[in-house]
Amino acid sequence: MATELADFLPQLDRDIRAMADWGKVADYIPELARVDPAQFGIAVALADGSMVTAGDAQKRFSIQSVSKVFSLACVLGRIGEQIWTRVGREPSGSRFDSILLLELEKGRPRNPFINAGALVTTDELLTGRSPRDALSEILGFLAAATGDADIHIDKFVAQSEAETGFRNAALANYLKSFGNLKNPVDYVLGTYFHQCAIELTCEQLARAGRSIAGLPGAPRLLTPQKARRLNALMMTCGHYDGSGDFAFRVGLPGKSGVGGGILLIAPGLASIGIWSPGLNAYGNSQAGTVAAEKLARKMGWSVF
Ligand code: DON
């Protein structure tokens, strides 16, 4: 499998770079608006322990909403099933930053991957902990999952989002009004903006996903049942209102971020980190989604 991939990934890299349409970088976070959209990287961690990469796989990018998988993994490890009293597990069919359903459903977000749901997850992580300690827990999880302690938060990106994150502030205040935020709104927002500003390379992201993919030799950070549940949520909710389209085209659990990252899981087979900063209409990586589709098709990895 490693040999086939070593042949295929350079070809995929060339195909993606020949694409005319890279999509549009996220411009509502000024610091992300400055990133050159014409970049692409991919890293595949395989069950035999090997890693195959192509393109800008060693370049750090802002993981943004991909962090929601790791904060949820920490919360599942800490309180397990109890989290589902505060947040649902159904796709929302709405944009990642939508407030629409929150009023109708009385402050219980549809799932932990839309912004409202992720704010609740982060709030849970803050129970009995300072923002600094909660962030250390996520960074510690990533260090253990990747086997690499060289993982940092880009403070400028966090600051940039804090200055312009009016929708997240609205969501957090709305959650608080329903009693579904235990900590002060500012604490939760500050922690959330910093977790979103974690930077990883494609290679680090692929390594981080090995436990979720259940690869042999991966650090044992999750029970198999918790990993299954994370995969189910990634498949149904990981790309927001584009989740159906992603499942249709790629057929694998994935989680996107507005920094252009995608964590893609081929259960039992591979953990894949993809990055290209230009986004499609759903706010998911345009070229990254095409690459995921081509990779899954070539390798026959769709779970369907
Ligand atoms: O809260 C936000 O808007 C960003 N920090 C993260 C959103 C995001 O990554 C959506 N993903 N495609």
pLDDT tens per residue across span 123-159: 999 999 999 999 999 999 999 999 999 999 999 999 9
Q: Tens digit of pLDDT for each residue in 75-129?
A: 999 999 999 999 999 999 999 999 999 999 999 999 999 999 999 999 999 999 9
| For the chain, domain boundaries | 2-63+200-299, 65-196
List residues with catalytic annotation: 65, 68, 192, 240, 258
pLDDT of residue 142: 98
Q: Tens digit of pLDDT for each residue in 155-195?
A: 999 999 999 999 999 999 999 999 999 999 999 999 999 99
Complex ipTM, two decimals? 0.99
Q: Which residues pair with 43 in a beta bridge?
A: 53, 273
CB 261 within 8 A of CB 63: yes
Q: Ligand 1, residues 65, 92, 119, 286: which to mutate, most atoms within 8 A of Cβ?
A: 65
Q: Tens digit of pLDDT for each residue in 4-26?
A: 999 999 999 999 999 868 999 99
- Taking the centre of ligand 1 as the mean of its atom positions, its distance from the CA of residue 70, in whole angstroms, is 14
- pLDDT band, very low/low/confident/very high, at 252 (cuts 50, 70, 90): very high
**Is-same-fold flag (2-63+200-299; 65-196)?**
yes
**R_g of the chain computed on alpha carbons:** 18
As its CATH architecture, domain 2-63+200-299 has 3-Layer(aba) Sandwich (3.40)
Ligand 1 pocket by C-beta < 6 Å: which residues? 64-65, 96-97, 115, 161, 168, 196, 256-258, 283-284
Class of domain 65-196: alpha beta
Cβ atoms < 10 Å from Cβ of 302: 15
pLDDT of residue 19: 85
Residues of the chain by 3-state class (helix, strand, coil), percent to 5: 50, 10, 35
Q: Tens digit of pLDDT for each residue in 196-239?
A: 999 999 999 999 999 999 999 999 999 999 999 999 999 999 99
Q: What is the pTM of this model?
A: 0.98
- Taking the centre of ligand 1 as the mean of its atom positions, its distance from the CA of residue 113, in whole angstroms, is 9
| Rounded alpha-carbon distances, angstroms, from residue 66 to 57, 100, 208 | 16, 23, 11
Q: Ligand 1, residues 64, 92, 243, 262: which to mutate, most atoms within 8 A of Cβ?
A: 64
CB 142 within 8 A of CB 131: no
